[in-house]
Amino acid sequence: MNPIPHYQAITSSPIGLLGLIMEGDALYSIDFLADDVEPLAAEDRSTIQVVSQLQHYFRQADWCFSLPLKPVGTPFQLSVWQQLQQIPVGEVRTYGEIAKVLKSGPRAVGNACRKNPLPVIVPCHRVVAASGPGGYAGQTQGRNMTIKGWLLAHEGVTI
DNA sequence: TTAGGTAGTCTCG
DNA sequence: CGAGACTACCTAA
């Protein structure tokens, strides 16, 4: 039962429409939207910047985002999301590897990845299971896994 | 292949 | 608050 999100921009991309929510000048959340909604042009400067960097990434995977981010979560979730941002483009880590660094457990890491509010930019798609692809955006199969596969292929990773 | 272990979060009451 | 259930998992046998 979420309040209806108010997007500052809805932009199209190779993985479908992305809805952006800002909090001040920082990026607060990215949603994968169904393709039957109207695109919405970014108006303020910081939102334009986000859209621009996303488009750049989709054109050229080897691109480091430089954006003010404002992910909201528990201290543990924040520490996991911070680890994700240290994974270089074209590499992957397993849930267990992240867990080891944080002295935690693989399932807990999976839980935190599932709650990542900034997919694509906080690269939770670069985390896979020791045996298998893991999940994405709460799904272990379906459209979101297709997106995960696309992102990894885009970065030159072969699952 | 599965059984059991594990860590963090959520949901009731 | 507390117990129990629910995971985008992992390891040993």
pLDDT of residue A98: 98
pLDDT of residue A158: 85
**Count of other CB atoms within 10 angstroms of residue A124:** 26
pLDDT exceeding 70 applies to what percent of chain A? 97
- Determine whether the distance from the CB of A77 to the nearest atom of strand B is below 7 Å: yes
pLDDT of residue A2: 63
Q: What structural domains and CATH numbers belong to chain A?
A: 9-59 (no CATH), 75-154 (1.10.10.10)
Q: Among candidates A50, A26, A115, A53, which has minimal Cα distance to A79?
A: A115
pLDDT digits (tens, 9 = 90+) for A58-114: 999 998 999 999 999 999 999 999 999 999 999 999 999 999 999 999 999 999 999
Q: Which residues in window 95-154 of A are less than 7 A from strand C by Cβ?
A: 95-96, 99, 105-111, 113-114, 116, 119, 124-125, 127, 129-131, 134-138, 140
Q: Report which secondary-structure segment, H or E, holds A94.
A: strand A93-94
pLDDT of residue A4: 77
pLDDT digits (tens, 9 = 90+) for A25-61: 999 999 999 999 999 999 999 999 999 999 999 999 9
pTM above 0.85, yes or no: yes
**What is the token pair recorded at A11?**
């932009």
- Determine whether the distance from the CB of A96 to the nearest atom of strand B is below 7 Å: no
pLDDT of residue A1: 47
Across all strands, nucleotide nearest A94 (CA–C1') = C9
pLDDT digits (tens, 9 = 90+) for A141-156: 999 999 999 999 999 9
